[in-house]
Homo-oligomer: A and B are copies of this chain.
Amino acid sequence: MGKITRYHLDPRTGVGFLLGRGEVLRVIDPEGEQVSDLVAFRRDDPTEWLSSGRSIDYNNTIYLTTGHMLYSNNSQPMLTILEDRVGKHDFLLTPCSQEMFRLLYNLEGYHPSCFGNLVTNLAQYGIAGHQIPTTFNIFMNVDVGPTGSLTIGPPLSRAGDFMELRAEQDLVVGVTACSAEKSNNNRFKPIDLEVYA
């Protein structure tokens, strides 16, 4: 544990990179109230991918936080949440996409999106859009009402808050600074990443 690699994600952008087993990824919200979508694939076999359904099932909660393990579709450990300074994140919703902006907000034409940014940045690892599952939406604040309806509120993250995740396998990881107005309290902000190798 000596080397630190840093990535700065400008608002409404994304990045793809390799995260080795045992390495720790810190996802930082430098200004507060910004969401960061995360997805992961097994490096040597991307047919193994981060599974919201298995992670929710095995942890018996929709709100994953410190100490929880994130599992693959093959029920293998992928990432462990080592530290969480916020405590509220979403694992129900797919990343925002061009189609989402059209269907939910009647926006036609190009709109930057987490899905688009993940596709662009994961292509270098041979991962295509159809392989991107429900993302782990760090800092996204989603409540489930008694009838099952969802309410998206401003993230609870304040400037400098972060989450740390340890890779349990050699992974390909995609991370974004989210492009959805509603998820980020209507102001797009950057996301900072640090990888401790």
Using a CB–CB cutoff of 8 Å, the interface residues on chain A facing chain B are 47-49, 51-54, 56-58, 60-63, 73-75, 92-94, 97, 99-100, 103-104, 128, 130, 132-135, 144, 147-150
Contact = CB atoms under 8 A, between A and B. Distances in A.
Contact of A53 (B61, B130, B133, B149): B133
Nearest to A73: B130
Nearest to A132: B73
A104 B148 CA distance: 25
Count identical subunits in the complex. Answer: 2
Contacts of A52: 52-53, 92, 134
A53 B97 CA distance: 12
A73 B92 CA distance: 13
A92 B133 contact: no
